[in-house]
Amino acid sequence: MSRVDLLESITASPDYRTLTTHLFLLILWSPNDHDSSDEEVPESFEEEFFYRAAWLVGETSPLLANALRKKLDIYKLEAGSLAAHHEYFRAIAHGLAKDDSVRPMLLEMLLQSLEADGSYEGTRPCPEELIQVIAGISQQSGGRSYYDPLSANGRLLAELVSNSSSSAWGLGQSSADEDILHGLLRAFFQHDSLTFEKADALKSPPNDGVGLQSFDVVVSDLSESADVWATELGAGDPFGRFKYGIAPKGKGEWPLIQHMLACMRKDQGVAIAVVDLAALLRAGKEAEIRRAIMQNNLLDAVVYLPAKLYRSDARSLAILVFKSSRQSSSVLLIDASKQYTSEKSLNTLTAEGIQQIQKHYSRREPVEGNAVLLSIADLEATGFALNPGRYFSARADEGLHDLDALSREHEYLKLELWQVGGQIDELLSRLAEKVAP
């Protein structure tokens, strides 16, 4: 039985969502983990089997085993006996016994199914197309150590590590129980190459007791991180991570980006962050932080993405690429905001759009309407603005017939006007302070 057939047999049961812990353990469990006297497929799948399976998981991953045991206890209290599901578990076990190699991919397929159907209680999963873009950029760095300070369900980090060299490894951090569980499940079959910690990255960064741990590639989707920042963390930070400025309370993108910059290797380190486009447009302290980072020649590229890449989220996003040791002082801007297909309330980056992003990033050349290369002098002349509407506009051949393009351009202009208005307000405030008696 193929892994697709197995997944269909698993999800055919109306109870499969309430039995996910048992299904995880059934997939993680293998006859090879048992004594030679044990049968290949057990006759009974009562509570004892699953607690035994959790104990065996604990030999590889104690944290994962503890999390699974807690969920087994909860199911036992809420639902009681497993007798009604005995044949269901047995059919799945027989399917797995026919081909033991399908277990890792079956687990991944089940996790993706659970994360996509709206029942997942953790952080929203990063879209596959966005993962492909990030992977293509990170692979050009040739790194082998990866770190994700907001690893969510672990899929982004797991795919980057698994598609890198055989010696690659990664560390993920998250403060959400469900995210850590899924991250640990993804790490189980990769043994020592992936580690996930339940931790707030800003409060408990990876360190050796003296300094921060550094990585070849630091990567994260920060598009849901706007409310995680408390300013008091910045003033007394023992690692000096926020040297470019302290962002206002609740605006978490630039504190997390500064954390990522501090954790990338000083030589050939790369940081890749997905952010809400508004993080590139807001005035005040955040504008000062952006300016300082660019003046220190850390920003390498910006990729402007379509809106609605996440369901029920109409915001436009952008990918920021930073490098610790750059050969050039220019910044590459890539417009991929029109490279999508639309279905109801969700937009998806096209395969052609993904290829174009990779090509533009690799070649690093200006392409009319698609890519702009700006020197530090160019950026300084625009006040270090990263407004896409300043550098890209609707294509000429779209004319007045593409209402979506016109609407996007209108939004860009409104955001740019908002930013300029904020800068004027701040200048007037400073002037008032100087002339006050």
Give the residue with greater pLDDT, 356 vs 233. 356
pLDDT at residue 16 tops 50: yes
Contact 156, 127 (CB under 8 A): no
Mean pLDDT of 135-142: 88
The alpha-carbon radius of gyration of the chain (Å, integer) is: 24
pLDDT given at position 312:
75
CB 341 within 8 A of CB 347: yes
**Structural contact between residues 6 and 106, judged by C-beta atoms closer than 8 angstroms:** yes
pLDDT > 80? residue 397? no
d(CA 188, CA 56): 12
C-alpha of 376 from chain center: 29
**Burial level of 36, CB count in 10 A (0-12/13-18/19+)?**
exposed
Task: For residue 152, give the DSSP letter.
Answer: T
Looking at 184-327, which runs of residues are DSSP E strands?
Answer: 194-198, 217-221, 270-276, 299-307, 316-323
In this predicted model, what pLDDT tens digit does every residue of 270-308 receive, in sequence order? 999 999 998 898 888 999 999 999 999 999 999 999 999
Residue 399 has pLDDT above 50, yes or no: no
State pLDDT tens for residues 143-182. Answer: 899 999 999 999 999 999 998 888 999 999 998 999 999 9
pTM assigned to the model: 0.86
* DSSP secondary structure letter of residue 32: G
Res. 63: pLDDT tops 60: yes
pLDDT band at 407 (very low <50, low <70, confident <90, very high): low
Average pLDDT value over all residues in the chain: 87
pLDDT of res. 357: 95
d(CA 320, CA 332): 10
**Please, are residues 281 and 382 in contact by the beta-carbon 8 Å criterion?**
no
Q: Which two tokens stand for residue 131?
A: 């993962």
Q: Which domains does the chain have, with CATH numbers?
A: 3-116 (no CATH), 128-391 (3.40.50.150)
Name the band, by pLDDT with cuts 50, 70 and 90, for residue 222. very high
pLDDT > 80? residue 365? yes
Per-residue pLDDT tens for 21-55? 999 999 998 866 554 444 567 778 899 999 999 99
